[in-house]
Structures are given as C-alpha cells and as structure tokens.
Structure 1
Amino acid sequence: MNGRLLGGLLGASFLAACTTTGDVSRAETTAAATPPPAASAPVYPSTYRPYPGVLTAIVHATVFDGEGNRIENGTVIFADGKVSAVGGPDTPVPEGATIYDASGKWVTPGIIDVHSHLGDYASPGVQAHSDGNEMTGPTKPEVWAEHSVWPQDPGFTRALANGGVTTLQILPGSGNLVGGRSVTLKNVPARTVQGMKFPGAPYGLKMACGENPKRVYGSRNQMPSTRMGEMAVDRQMWARAVEYKRKWDKYEKSGGEPPARDIAMDTLREVLEGKILIQNHCYRADEMAQMIDMSKEFGYKITAFHHAIEAYKIADLLRENGICSAMWADWWGFKMEAYDAINENIPLVHNAGACAIVHSDDPNGIQRLNQEAAKAMGDGRRIGIDVKPEVAWEWLSYNPAKALGIADKTGSLKPGKMADVVLWNGDPFSVYTRPERVWIDGAMLYDANNPKLRPVTDFELGQPGEGDVK
C-alpha cells in the first residue's frame, strides 16, 4: 500500500468488559448466569482512523449539498474531519484556512456505492481472486464479506480517483439465497479491511432471489430449482431463526442454561432485531412483492432492493414500505429477468416518492456513477420528469447513506457530518468532468494536480524485471 498515505494510520485498542457477581451461592450464580456478549458485539472491530487533514475552505463553487439544495458561488468549510459551514459567498472563512478557488467548478458530497464487490472479486479478475460467493449451500448467513476483502485491490483507488467514491458497501455475490454479511468501508488506503471499516455502520445481509440461486442449486439437483423452491427454503430458514431468537431472548431474560451458539443464526437474529439491514438482490416486480410479504411474515424489514430492474412497476409499494431501490441507468437484457427494463426506471421511482439510488455492481461502473445518474436524468426528461441536478445528486450520496444506515454521519454537506467531499473540475454530470480533489474525513486523499497525491497500491507498482515504474 502507498506508504506515504499509510503513515497516518493509527491503531485502535479493543477493550473487553468484565462483570463480577456478588456473594451468592454456586447454584444461584449458575441460574442467573450473565449471558455472553450479544452477537452484535464488535468481535471484528473497526480500527479505522481518519488521515490527518487541515482547516480547508472551498470558495466560489457551485455546491450540491446532497439533500437537494444548490448554492451558487458557494463556500464549503471543514476542519477536524467534519463539515463546519456551507453557505454563500458571504460565509466567513476562518483565519489560517487553506483556500481553494473553485470558480467554474462544483463541490458535492462524496459518492457512495451501495453495491460493490471490490476486494472480494479483486482485480485482476482471476480465479484466485474469486472470494465473493460461498456457493456450498443455498443459505450462508454465517459468512462475512469482510473476511474476503483484499485491501490492495486496485479497484479501490480507481473508484476514488476516477469516480469520487468515498464510501462503499462490499456485498457477497448472488449465487445463494442468503450470501452472508456485507460490510461498509471508507475508501481509504489501509493494510487491513478493519482499517477501512466505516465506524458505526451497521452490517447488511445479502439476500437474492430469481435466476441465480435456482440456476446454481437446480443444476445440482437440489433445492431451490424453482422460484417456489426459493421461497420455501427462505421460509424454513427464517422459521428456524425466529425460534433461535425466542430461545436466546428467554435465556437473556431469565438466565439458566444458554442455548447452543450458531453463528449463522446469530446473523439472522440480528436482522430480526433490526441491527442488520437486508440488502436484497431482486430484479422482477412480482418477486420483490413476494420478498416484502415474507419479511412481514417473519418480522424483519427490507432496506433496499438491488438491481430492481422492474422497480418502476411497484414504486408505490416501495414508497409505502420505505424500501430503497438501487438501480442501473440502462444495463439490461443479459438474462430473462433483466428483459423488462426501461431506461426511465430511476426517475419513475424517484417521481413516485420512493428512494432511488444509482449503484454499480461493477469495477468499471463504479468509476462513472455520476455519468450513470446523468443518463437517468436525461431519460426522465424525455418523458416529462425533470429532476434537477442538485436533487439527482441524492441518488449518489444521501439516499445510499440512508440505505446503509449512515445518513446521520455522511452523504450530505451539513455541519457536523464527515467531511467526505469532492471538488469536480466541471459539471459533475458531464462526461468530460473528473474529480480534481477528493477529501475523506477532511483529509485530501486524491489531488489530480499533485502526483504525490494519486494513491496506488503495491500491486500496481510492478515487480523487478517488469519495466520501469514511474
């Protein structure tokens, strides 16, 4: 990893709490035994620490604040890793600030990609790097995507420098009905995945429906081989999870002999408790409706449908249930469940008052999410849905932050939030525009004008005998 950038990385201590009992008998102590730590305890805690930044003021910019507002000739000020002020040209600039004149340029919150496999399917795309899908059984809630993430995947730095991506969710693949836990990362250089893990971000649980799981397991002559088989396997799993939760709830309330620990069920229990967010790969409208019905049957909530090619058909249902849709602008037709797509999907979902998100699912697409949003804006205009650019930026930052449970920390330029900021060298919805500078928690991690601030991984530096490295 780039040693210069890693120089500021700080370690973190993980303290384990302990409890003591009073003067009670051995039998009383056993009966009222203190339960083990809840499954949500940070057994793999984030060690992320922001890189050092300086007091910074960006002036004379067109500002999109991420929550639908636009400021002309605007000023953005950040210090100590947080946004401290956003306003017009009369916003006071503190003494000693490093000032960037952004005349003719734009400032936005950093882009957040809710659907990425960087690190789990690292570049180059060889079998040795294929670590995103544990396809040894149709439900695998026990696996965690972070345990496969390779922090030196060149895709991370490319997403930062070319796409202005400051935060991303790494998901398992979609070959299983339940692929495992996802993890949300800050897009910073680090030696370990824990050094990238977004502090305080809830885990996600990747679920999938449709063609992928039934193709994988049907080809092995096992369930599920049909869509009804998918529902049956899912329902059996959730029924076991509800019973597992009941046993642990009873134990934690009354004590006694603890139930046997099951790390797969631990994950599902946290979903049922609202601590882990469901991120559901699903293309067809009818299947999304089925997933919603199943979530109500077992008492959990779906946070977002991913890909959601037919979200436009049930946009009202998504709005009523508070479910986001992470969508492509125009990627369709590569399998049957992706055929009934329309380019107006994103603006139609937005126009219905539902939560619309632009996502990538691709190491190249993640570098151009701003352009994907621009295409969706244009498609909306052609059918009379004129989404303003400052509003469309919600698809790229604030709505993704909501779907990841971190909108109180990032996703918009508001005082007190993380200073995840991109200075674009032109209109960010233009194909000619690139990030000029990118800050994460107020630290400049990319500067197109400074070769020393163009981070690369060791993997990209080459090996002896492979030619000169500039």
Structure 2
Amino acid sequence: MRANALLTLGSALALSACASTAGGSDTASTGTANPAAENPFPSTYEPYPGTPTALVGATVYDGAGGVIEGGVVLFRDGKVVAVAQELSTEGYTVVDGTGKYVTPGIIDIHSHLGDYPTPSVDAHSDGNEATNPTTPDVWAEHSVWPQDPGFSRALANGGITSLQILPGSANLIGGRSVTLKNVYSRTVQGMKFPGAPYGMKMACGENPKRVYGNRGRKPSTRMGNIAVARQTWLDAKEWADGDRKKRNLENETLAGVLDGDILVHNHCYRADEMAIVMDMAKEMGYRVSAFHHAVEAYKIGDLLRENEVCSAIWADWYGFKMESYDGIPENGALLQNAGACVVIHSDDENGIQRLNQEAAKAQAAGARMGIAIPDAEVISWITLNAAKAMGIDGMTGSLETGKMADVVLWNGDPLSVYSRPDKVWVDGALMYDAADPKRKPVSDFELGQPGEGDVK
C-alpha cells in the first residue's frame, strides 16, 4: 500500500531508494497507569528503502565536536556503520565527496511547520489553543498538516532530517510537542520519530499576560503568570499522587512531566524569568530541558550550566518587543564560553532552511569579541545539542556507529552562506539529491500547480 500510494504521486515525489530498519519503539509513555492512555497515537513511521552507501573523500563533521579531513562514512540498513579516515568500501555504493562536507542531519528543536503551514492563512493557523491560560491537554501533532510545503523546503534547502513541532506561546502551558522525521507521509503518525519522548511547551513573559490580560482574565502580569502555573502544577500533583484511574487529559500530560517522561520546552526571553522558572521547577519536581528564544541567556550562563538547561536561541533576533530588547548576537558564544548548552533554532518556516548559516552568524559574532569556537563545535549547535535537549541523542544527532543514518552531504563548507545540501539521507534513505529532479520531494498540495516539482 505504501509503495502504491507513492506511485500515484508521480515522479515529482520520487523520494528515493534507500535503506533501513523498521520503526523501533513507539512514543514515550505519559506515566499514567491507564493502559489506554499510554500511547493512543503511536508512530507508524517506517524508513524508506535504501542501499549500503559509502561517502568518501569529504571533510566529516561528526556532530560531537570531531572532524576528519578526507574521511569515510559508511551506512547500511538505516544505521551508521563506521566513520574513520580509511575504511573498506567493498559492498557499498561509493559517493565521491571530494571537496565537499558531511554532517549529521540538521535538527530544528523549535518549529511550527504543519501547525502554521504555508500558505500562511487563517484557515491554517492551528498552533495556539488560546482559549485558556493552560492547555496541557492539546497535542501539537493533532494540528500537523503533513502536506505543508515547508517540510520539503526544510529538507532540500536546510538539510533538516528531524524537527520538533511545538504549540504556540499564547498559553502558560501550551500542550504537547511532537518530534518528526522529515519524510513524506500521508499521516502525521507516519512522520513521528519512533521512540522520541514527548515535549511540553510552556511560556512566560509578555505573551500569556498580553493574551489573557487583554480579555480581563488572569494572568495579566508576570506575577500572575507564575501564580497560575504554580496552581496548575499543584492540582496536577494532587491528581498524580492519587490513583489516576479517572482519565484527565490535562493531568495525564502534566503527570508525564512530573514522572520524567515528557520534557519541558519553555519559551522565555528574560534572564530573571528563566531563573524564576528554574526555581519553580525545583519546587514542583520537574526540570526544564531547554529555554527557547532565551535572548538574555548570556546573563545567566552559569545558572543554565549548573541546572543542565539548554538555550535554544536565534543568532541575532532582538528588539522586536520589550522582553527581547537586551538580545545580543554574542549570546551563543557567551553561553558556549560559560560551558552551557547552545542550540540554534528557527521558529520560522524560512529560517529553518538556513540553520547552518544562522549558526555561522552566531559563531562570527563570538569571533568578533574574541571568543573562537571551532567549526566542528558549532555544527553540534544544530545537531547533537538539539538532539540532547529533545531526548533523541541516543538515536541521532551525531555520526556514531549504530545511530540512525541521518546524513547531509554539503556542496561546500556548511558554515558558508554559499553552501547548500547536495544530498540528504534520512535513516539511510536518499531523500534529496540536488542533481536528480526526481528526488526533489513535493507535497500533494503542490501537485498540479504551476512550477510543480520545483524546490525553491
């Protein structure tokens, strides 16, 4: 059925011949004792087929801070077999990477593709359930439109192989996020990253107080933000400490966080608020995996390091509202210098196509102030560090034996504005090839429209 469905899409969708193992374990448990609540929307992802492949002669950035000049990357059956200076390529299809570069697949920790798809019209605006300050019961995946053309743009132009789709930030607690493999599928379940834990989106600062304060509701201040969030956690703890037999979608998600099964991704700009949120997390018994946007993270790099919280940031966005006023382009470099975890994210359907360039901008800002960060380390900002904060680093994010063969071959230095993906593999499957028009994926939405098959 899968093969027949793809054939009906025509050559424009010819998404390749490539390799891999079957889907692995399903998404993480919510921690509830009710079996029906454990995994009601399981991943049905199955890797596309592929061939054993050897990339030879390229400069290899492994995503974990290592670099090999003129290295060899072997993968087959969807997994990385070996990465070294010299390896036998017998039994592998050899791809000459001389003069080119290899990295792990790029990972965007903060995306709204599918929930705010293109065309950007009100009918497609499905990211904010702005009906209550706390909506932990909603799941971002139930708004994801798999036909969003943004997915194929991210693959072809940005080398994005995995991405986390988050609810918006109108709410203090916006709901569950979902991690996807960036492949064509008719359903969101067919894109769900097998074995990835759920995330939960939280927010602080201007957005919740503006949205609900303008309606004459609580919260309307920052102190109201914290008060509402704390009470929500206290109510959830009371439910979680009970027998959990009565289904409650809000508390099932919150209990999943308290049980450590669901990771918290917190939209927050100001340093003082991030410090307060970390204290609230300690009070309530959960931890923040990453602060997103975090334009003032550079002010508390030591606190973020000590609390093992990543900062998912832009390279240079600042000043578009008061809480972003103190954003500086040296943010990432200062965090790196403090020993804290740095992730470059997009939060944008266009920015996701150039995370490599955004990382390079942040690196250059550091160099201008005297902080030299090696290229191989910068690559980890858009690969392994993102995977760590999303709880999938044991499966992807670096080119290590046994991990998913999520691989990008770049036509030049990936930290150059002039470079772009030459080929992209997802679980060892060649999903994009710049030299082959039939391997430029196009969504159903674009089929039959002027310019079909073009990836721009």
Using the size of structure 2 for normalisation, the TM-score is: 0.93
Could you tell me how far apart the structure 1 residues matched to 2:25 and 2:96 are?
42
**Which residue in the other structure is 1:73 paired with?**
70
Amino acid at match of 2:35: P
Superimposed CA distance per residue, residues 103-158 of structure 1 (whole angstroms, 9 cap, x where no aligned partner): 11000001000000000000010000000000000000000000000000000000
SS for the counterpart of 1:194 is coil
**Which residue in the other structure is 2:316 paired with?**
330
Are residues 342 and 217 of structure 1, via their aligned partners in 2, closer, same or farther at CA, if it must alter by over 3 Å?
same
Task: Give the deviation of 1:297 after TM superposition.
Answer: 0.5
**Which residue in the other structure is 1:300 paired with?**
286
**Which residue in the other structure is 1:151 paired with?**
146
Task: Give the deviation of 1:12 after TM superposition.
Answer: 8.5
Could you tell me how far apart the structure 1 residues matched to 2:44 and 2:341 are?
31
Are residues 7 and 392 of structure 1, via their aligned partners in 2, closer, same or farther at CA, if it must alter by over 3 Å?
closer
Count of matched residue pairs:
438
Structure 2 residue runs of 5 or longer lacking an equivalent are 1-5, 27-31
Using the size of structure 1 for normalisation, the TM-score is: 0.90
SS for the counterpart of 2:242 is helix
Conserved? CA contact 2:61–2:68, under 8 Å: yes
**Which residue in the other structure is 1:30 paired with?**
none
Amino acid at match of 2:147: Q
Task: Give the deviation of 1:91 after TM superposition.
Answer: 1.4
**Which residue in the other structure is 2:331 paired with?**
345
**Which residue in the other structure is 1:228 paired with?**
223
Conserved? CA contact 2:271–2:297, under 8 Å: yes
**Which residue in the other structure is 2:160 paired with?**
165
**Which residue in the other structure is 1:82 paired with?**
79
Could you tell me how far apart the structure 1 residues matched to 2:298 and 2:136 are?
30
Conserved? CA contact 2:294–2:311, under 8 Å: yes
Task: Give the deviation of 1:459 after TM superposition.
Answer: 1.3
**Which residue in the other structure is 2:208 paired with?**
213
Are residues 11 and 43 of structure 1, via their aligned partners in 2, closer, same or farther at CA, if it must alter by over 3 Å?
farther
Amino acid at match of 2:229: D
Higher relative CO (Cα under 8 Å, sequence separation at least 6) belongs to 2
- Does structure 1 residue 192 correspond to structure 2 residue 187? yes
Structure 1 residue runs of 5 or longer lacking an equivalent are 16-33, 249-257
Give the counterpart of 1:37 among 35, 38, 43.
35
Q: 1:386-397, aligned counterparts within 5 Å?
A: 386-397=372-383
Could you tell me how far apart the structure 1 residues matched to 2:262 and 2:383 are?
20
SS for the counterpart of 1:49 is coil
Conserved? CA contact 1:167–1:186, under 8 Å: yes
Larger radius of gyration: 1
Could you tell me how far apart the structure 2 residues matched to 1:459 and 1:11 are?
28
Amino acid at match of 1:261: R
- Does structure 1 residue 179 correspond to structure 2 residue 174? yes
Could you tell me how far apart the structure 1 residues matched to 2:405 and 2:23 are?
21
Aligned-pair RMSD on alpha carbons? 2.1
Conserved? CA contact 2:442–2:453, under 8 Å: no
Task: Give the deviation of 1:37 after TM superposition.
Answer: 1.2
SS for the counterpart of 1:401 is helix
- Does structure 1 residue 108 correspond to structure 2 residue 103? yes
Task: Give the deviation of 1:416 after TM superposition.
Answer: 0.2
**Identity value in percent:** 64
**Which residue in the other structure is 2:235 paired with?**
240
Give the counterpart of 2:88 among 92, 100, 106.
92
User: Runs of 4 or more off by more than 2 Å in structure 1?
Assistant: 1-15, 466-470
Could you tell me how far apart the structure 1 residues matched to 2:15 and 2:35 are?
33
Task: Give the deviation of 1:36 after TM superposition.
Answer: 2.9
Conserved? CA contact 1:6–1:190, under 8 Å: no
Conserved? CA contact 2:58–2:70, under 8 Å: yes
Could you tell me how far apart the structure 2 residues matched to 1:77 and 1:222 are?
57
**Which residue in the other structure is 2:440 paired with?**
454
Could you tell me how far apart the structure 2 residues matched to 1:104 and 1:468 are?
32
